[in-house]
Amino acid sequence: MKLREQGRRLSRRIDGLGLRERCMLFASIALLMAAAADSLVLSPALAEQKLLAARLKQDNAELVTLRARLAQAARTPDADSPVMRLRRDIARLQARQQAVDADIERLGSTASVRSSRCASAARSPAVLPCSRSFMAWLLPGSA
C-alpha cells in the first residue's frame, strides 16, 4: 500500500508540472537510461570486441609466419626431416631390390645353362655313366 500511495503522490506531482518541466523530466529520464545502458551493456561489449580484434590480429600474424615457415620447409626439406629420412630409406631399399633382382637374373641364367648341360649329358649315352645313374635315381621313370 505504501508503494501505491507513493506512486499516486508522484503522479499528482508530475501532473502539477508545466509542459516544459514535463518534457525536461522525460528527457532527463531518457538520458539517464541511455547512460545506464551504455555503461552496463555497450562499454563492456566494445571493450571485449577490441580485445578480440587485437587477439585476431595477433593470431593472423602468427598464422602468416607459420605459413611462411611451412612453405619454406616444403621447398627445401631439412636433411634430418622425416620426409628426407623416408626418401633415403626408399632409395636404399630400391637399390637393394635392384641388386637382388640382378642376382636372381644372374642365377636364373646360370641355372638355365646348367640345366641345358645336364639335359645334353643325359641324352648322350657315352658321357658320364654316373650322371646317368644319378638322373635315373632322380627321375625314376626316365631310364
pLDDT for 4-34, tens place per residue?
A: 999 999 899 988 989 999 999 999 999 999 9
Sign of CA dihedral 112, 117, 120, 125: negative
Q: Examine the pLDDT at 83 and tell me if it is beyond 90.
A: no
The one-letter amino acid code at 92 reads: R
Cell numbers 634430418 correspond to 80
**Which long-range contacts link 127-134 to residues 24+ away (Cβ below 8 Å)?**
none
Cell of 123: 641324352
Residue-wise pLDDT for 23-62, tens only, equals 999 999 999 999 999 999 999 999 999 999 999 999 999 9
Query: What would you report as the CA-atom Rg of the chain, rounded to the nearest whole angstrom?
Result: 51
| pTM recorded for the entire structure | 0.39
Number of CB atoms found within 10 A of residue 122's CB: 19
Rounded Cα gap, residues 96 and 49, in angstroms = 62
Rounded Cα gap, residues 45 and 38, in angstroms = 10
Share of the chain above pLDDT 70, in %: 76
Q: Which of 12-26, 56-70, 99-113 has the lowest mean pLDDT?
A: 99-113
